[in-house]
Amino acid sequence: MEQIQEFFSGPIGALIINVAAALLILIIGYIVARIIASIVRRLLGRTNLDNRLSNTLSEPDDPTKVPVEDTVGKIVFWLIMLFVITAALERLNLSAISQPLQAFLDQLTTVYVPRFFAAAVLLIIAWLIATAFRFLVRKAGHLLKLDERLSKYGALKEDDKVNITEAVASAIYWLIFLLFIPSVLQALGLTAIAEPFAGVFASIFAYIPNILATAVIAVVG
Protein backbone atom coordinates (compact mmCIF):
# COMPACT_ATOMS: atom_id res chain seq x y z
CA MET A 1 0.00 0.00 0.00
CA GLU A 2 2.82 2.36 0.85
CA GLN A 3 4.54 1.52 -2.43
CA ILE A 4 1.39 2.41 -4.36
CA GLN A 5 1.12 5.71 -2.51
CA GLU A 6 4.77 6.45 -3.17
CA PHE A 7 4.31 5.60 -6.85
CA PHE A 8 1.35 7.96 -7.32
CA SER A 9 3.08 10.67 -5.30
CA GLY A 10 6.00 10.55 -7.70
CA PRO A 11 6.24 12.30 -11.09
CA ILE A 12 5.05 9.30 -13.11
CA GLY A 13 2.12 8.67 -10.80
CA ALA A 14 1.17 12.36 -10.86
CA LEU A 15 1.30 12.29 -14.65
CA ILE A 16 -0.98 9.27 -14.75
CA ILE A 17 -3.44 10.97 -12.40
CA ASN A 18 -3.43 14.15 -14.47
CA VAL A 19 -3.95 12.21 -17.71
CA ALA A 20 -6.81 10.24 -16.15
CA ALA A 21 -8.37 13.43 -14.81
CA ALA A 22 -8.02 15.14 -18.22
CA LEU A 23 -9.67 12.17 -19.94
CA LEU A 24 -12.48 12.24 -17.39
CA ILE A 25 -12.97 15.97 -18.01
CA LEU A 26 -13.12 15.35 -21.76
CA ILE A 27 -15.59 12.49 -21.43
CA ILE A 28 -17.91 14.28 -19.01
CA GLY A 29 -17.61 17.55 -20.94
CA TYR A 30 -18.38 15.80 -24.21
CA ILE A 31 -21.52 14.22 -22.74
CA VAL A 32 -22.66 17.52 -21.22
CA ALA A 33 -21.98 19.38 -24.48
CA ARG A 34 -23.99 16.83 -26.44
CA ILE A 35 -26.90 17.05 -24.01
CA ILE A 36 -26.97 20.86 -23.98
CA ALA A 37 -26.66 21.06 -27.78
CA SER A 38 -29.50 18.55 -28.14
CA ILE A 39 -31.69 20.57 -25.76
CA VAL A 40 -30.98 23.78 -27.68
CA ARG A 41 -31.73 22.05 -30.99
CA ARG A 42 -35.03 20.69 -29.67
CA LEU A 43 -36.08 24.04 -28.24
CA LEU A 44 -35.39 25.72 -31.58
CA GLY A 45 -37.25 22.89 -33.32
CA ARG A 46 -40.36 23.68 -31.30
CA THR A 47 -40.25 27.27 -32.53
CA ASN A 48 -40.31 26.02 -36.15
CA LEU A 49 -37.69 28.67 -36.88
CA ASP A 50 -36.04 26.92 -39.82
CA ASN A 51 -39.33 26.56 -41.68
CA ARG A 52 -40.17 30.19 -41.10
CA LEU A 53 -36.79 31.34 -42.37
CA SER A 54 -37.10 29.00 -45.33
CA ASN A 55 -40.49 30.49 -46.23
CA THR A 56 -39.13 33.99 -45.76
CA LEU A 57 -35.85 33.70 -47.62
CA SER A 58 -37.03 31.54 -50.52
CA GLU A 59 -39.41 32.03 -53.37
CA PRO A 60 -42.76 30.18 -53.33
CA ASP A 61 -41.75 28.00 -56.29
CA ASP A 62 -38.17 27.41 -55.10
CA PRO A 63 -38.10 26.51 -51.38
CA THR A 64 -34.72 26.73 -49.65
CA LYS A 65 -33.90 24.69 -46.57
CA VAL A 66 -32.31 26.69 -43.75
CA PRO A 67 -30.92 24.28 -41.09
CA VAL A 68 -31.08 26.71 -38.19
CA GLU A 69 -31.48 24.10 -35.43
CA ASP A 70 -28.55 21.95 -36.58
CA THR A 71 -26.26 24.94 -37.12
CA VAL A 72 -26.98 26.51 -33.72
CA GLY A 73 -26.70 23.10 -32.03
CA LYS A 74 -23.24 22.54 -33.54
CA ILE A 75 -22.10 26.03 -32.52
CA VAL A 76 -23.24 25.45 -28.93
CA PHE A 77 -21.57 22.02 -28.85
CA TRP A 78 -18.17 23.23 -30.04
CA LEU A 79 -18.28 26.33 -27.86
CA ILE A 80 -18.75 24.15 -24.79
CA MET A 81 -16.08 21.75 -26.02
CA LEU A 82 -13.59 24.61 -26.25
CA PHE A 83 -14.05 25.24 -22.54
CA VAL A 84 -13.78 21.52 -21.86
CA ILE A 85 -10.56 21.19 -23.87
CA THR A 86 -9.11 24.22 -22.09
CA ALA A 87 -9.87 22.65 -18.70
CA ALA A 88 -8.27 19.36 -19.79
CA LEU A 89 -5.14 21.14 -21.00
CA GLU A 90 -4.85 23.03 -17.72
CA ARG A 91 -5.15 19.74 -15.87
CA LEU A 92 -2.23 18.43 -17.94
CA ASN A 93 -0.24 21.59 -17.04
CA LEU A 94 0.02 22.56 -20.71
CA SER A 95 -0.10 26.27 -19.99
CA ALA A 96 1.54 27.20 -23.29
CA ILE A 97 -1.58 25.92 -25.07
CA SER A 98 -4.29 26.47 -22.47
CA GLN A 99 -3.52 30.11 -21.65
CA PRO A 100 -3.88 31.46 -25.23
CA LEU A 101 -7.00 29.37 -25.66
CA GLN A 102 -8.40 30.66 -22.36
CA ALA A 103 -7.61 34.24 -23.40
CA PHE A 104 -9.45 33.64 -26.67
CA LEU A 105 -12.47 32.22 -24.83
CA ASP A 106 -12.50 35.16 -22.41
CA GLN A 107 -12.49 37.59 -25.31
CA LEU A 108 -15.11 35.52 -27.09
CA THR A 109 -17.53 35.52 -24.15
CA THR A 110 -16.97 39.13 -23.07
CA VAL A 111 -16.62 40.86 -26.45
CA TYR A 112 -17.71 38.84 -29.46
CA VAL A 113 -20.72 36.98 -28.03
CA PRO A 114 -22.44 40.23 -26.88
CA ARG A 115 -21.72 41.76 -30.28
CA PHE A 116 -23.15 38.78 -32.13
CA PHE A 117 -26.16 38.79 -29.81
CA ALA A 118 -26.82 42.49 -30.48
CA ALA A 119 -26.41 41.93 -34.23
CA ALA A 120 -28.77 38.93 -34.08
CA VAL A 121 -31.40 41.02 -32.27
CA LEU A 122 -31.15 43.71 -34.94
CA LEU A 123 -31.46 41.11 -37.70
CA ILE A 124 -34.54 39.64 -36.03
CA ILE A 125 -36.09 43.11 -35.79
CA ALA A 126 -35.24 43.74 -39.44
CA TRP A 127 -36.75 40.40 -40.40
CA LEU A 128 -39.97 41.13 -38.49
CA ILE A 129 -40.35 44.59 -40.02
CA ALA A 130 -39.46 43.39 -43.52
CA THR A 131 -41.85 40.44 -43.27
CA ALA A 132 -44.65 42.71 -42.05
CA PHE A 133 -44.16 45.17 -44.92
CA ARG A 134 -43.95 42.39 -47.48
CA PHE A 135 -47.18 40.92 -46.13
CA LEU A 136 -48.91 44.31 -46.30
CA VAL A 137 -47.73 44.92 -49.87
CA ARG A 138 -48.93 41.48 -50.96
CA LYS A 139 -52.31 42.00 -49.31
CA ALA A 140 -52.67 45.44 -50.84
CA GLY A 141 -51.80 44.08 -54.27
CA HIS A 142 -54.33 41.27 -53.93
CA LEU A 143 -57.06 43.59 -52.65
CA LEU A 144 -56.50 46.07 -55.45
CA LYS A 145 -56.11 43.21 -57.95
CA LEU A 146 -53.10 45.04 -59.30
CA ASP A 147 -51.56 42.07 -61.09
CA GLU A 148 -54.86 41.11 -62.74
CA ARG A 149 -55.47 44.65 -63.97
CA LEU A 150 -51.94 45.07 -65.29
CA SER A 151 -52.11 41.65 -66.94
CA LYS A 152 -55.44 42.59 -68.52
CA TYR A 153 -54.66 46.10 -69.68
CA GLY A 154 -50.86 46.24 -69.78
CA ALA A 155 -49.83 42.88 -71.17
CA LEU A 156 -47.54 43.06 -74.17
CA LYS A 157 -48.83 39.78 -75.55
CA GLU A 158 -51.78 37.45 -75.00
CA ASP A 159 -51.78 35.42 -71.78
CA ASP A 160 -48.89 37.53 -70.49
CA LYS A 161 -49.10 37.71 -66.68
CA VAL A 162 -47.69 40.71 -64.88
CA ASN A 163 -46.55 39.96 -61.32
CA ILE A 164 -45.57 43.37 -60.09
CA THR A 165 -46.96 42.85 -56.56
CA GLU A 166 -44.46 40.11 -55.70
CA ALA A 167 -41.61 42.11 -57.25
CA VAL A 168 -42.43 45.20 -55.20
CA ALA A 169 -42.94 43.14 -52.04
CA SER A 170 -39.56 41.41 -52.47
CA ALA A 171 -37.83 44.70 -53.25
CA ILE A 172 -39.23 46.34 -50.10
CA TYR A 173 -38.33 43.25 -48.05
CA TRP A 174 -34.67 43.30 -49.05
CA LEU A 175 -34.48 47.09 -48.92
CA ILE A 176 -35.44 47.02 -45.25
CA PHE A 177 -32.74 44.43 -44.61
CA LEU A 178 -30.21 46.67 -46.37
CA LEU A 179 -31.25 49.62 -44.22
CA PHE A 180 -30.31 47.65 -41.11
CA ILE A 181 -26.85 46.74 -42.41
CA PRO A 182 -25.04 49.81 -40.94
CA SER A 183 -26.56 49.18 -37.50
CA VAL A 184 -25.67 45.48 -37.65
CA LEU A 185 -22.09 46.28 -38.67
CA GLN A 186 -21.76 48.81 -35.87
CA ALA A 187 -23.10 46.25 -33.39
CA LEU A 188 -20.37 43.87 -34.58
CA GLY A 189 -17.76 46.57 -34.03
CA LEU A 190 -17.10 47.00 -37.76
CA THR A 191 -17.36 50.77 -37.73
CA ALA A 192 -14.93 51.24 -40.60
CA ILE A 193 -17.25 49.23 -42.85
CA ALA A 194 -20.50 50.59 -41.40
CA GLU A 195 -19.70 54.25 -42.15
CA PRO A 196 -19.44 53.85 -45.95
CA PHE A 197 -22.71 51.90 -45.95
CA ALA A 198 -24.36 54.68 -43.96
CA GLY A 199 -23.09 57.21 -46.49
CA VAL A 200 -24.46 55.19 -49.39
CA PHE A 201 -27.89 54.90 -47.77
CA ALA A 202 -27.93 58.62 -46.98
CA SER A 203 -27.36 59.30 -50.68
CA ILE A 204 -30.12 56.87 -51.59
CA PHE A 205 -32.56 58.57 -49.23
CA ALA A 206 -31.72 61.90 -50.84
CA TYR A 207 -32.82 60.50 -54.20
CA ILE A 208 -35.97 58.77 -52.94
CA PRO A 209 -38.31 61.69 -53.83
CA ASN A 210 -36.99 61.66 -57.41
CA ILE A 211 -37.28 57.88 -57.58
CA LEU A 212 -40.89 58.00 -56.34
CA ALA A 213 -41.79 60.68 -58.85
CA THR A 214 -40.21 58.64 -61.65
CA ALA A 215 -42.08 55.53 -60.50
CA VAL A 216 -45.41 57.39 -60.50
CA ILE A 217 -44.76 58.69 -64.02
CA ALA A 218 -43.77 55.19 -65.17
CA VAL A 219 -46.91 53.62 -63.68
CA VAL A 220 -49.16 56.25 -65.19
CA GLY A 221 -47.41 55.84 -68.53
* Spatial separation of the C-alpha atoms in residues 118 and 111, rounded to whole Å: 11
Using the predicted structure, report yes or no on whether residue 136 has a pLDDT greater than 80: yes
* Spatial separation of the C-alpha atoms in residues 200 and 195, rounded to whole Å: 9
* Spatial separation of the C-alpha atoms in residues 168 and 212, rounded to whole Å: 13
Identify the domain containing residue 39 by its residue range: 1-93
What pLDDT does 35 receive? 93
For residue 76, the domain's CATH number is 1.10.287
* Spatial separation of the C-alpha atoms in residues 73 and 40, rounded to whole Å: 6
pLDDT tens string 157-189? 555 565 777 778 888 888 888 888 888 888 887
- Letter for the amino acid at 151? S
pLDDT tens string 60-93? 555 556 566 778 888 889 888 988 988 888 888 8
Question: Do both 143 and 43 map to the same domain?
Answer: no
Under DSSP, the state recorded for 162 is P
| Domain end (from 62, 93, 124) | 93
- Number of Cβ within 10 Å of residue 214's Cβ equals 11
CB 68 within 8 A of CB 46: no
Domain-embedded: residue 98: no
* Spatial separation of the C-alpha atoms in residues 111 and 184, rounded to whole Å: 15
- Number of Cβ within 10 Å of residue 178's Cβ equals 14
Question: Do both 72 and 12 map to the same domain?
Answer: yes
pLDDT band for position 44 (cuts 50, 70, 90):
confident
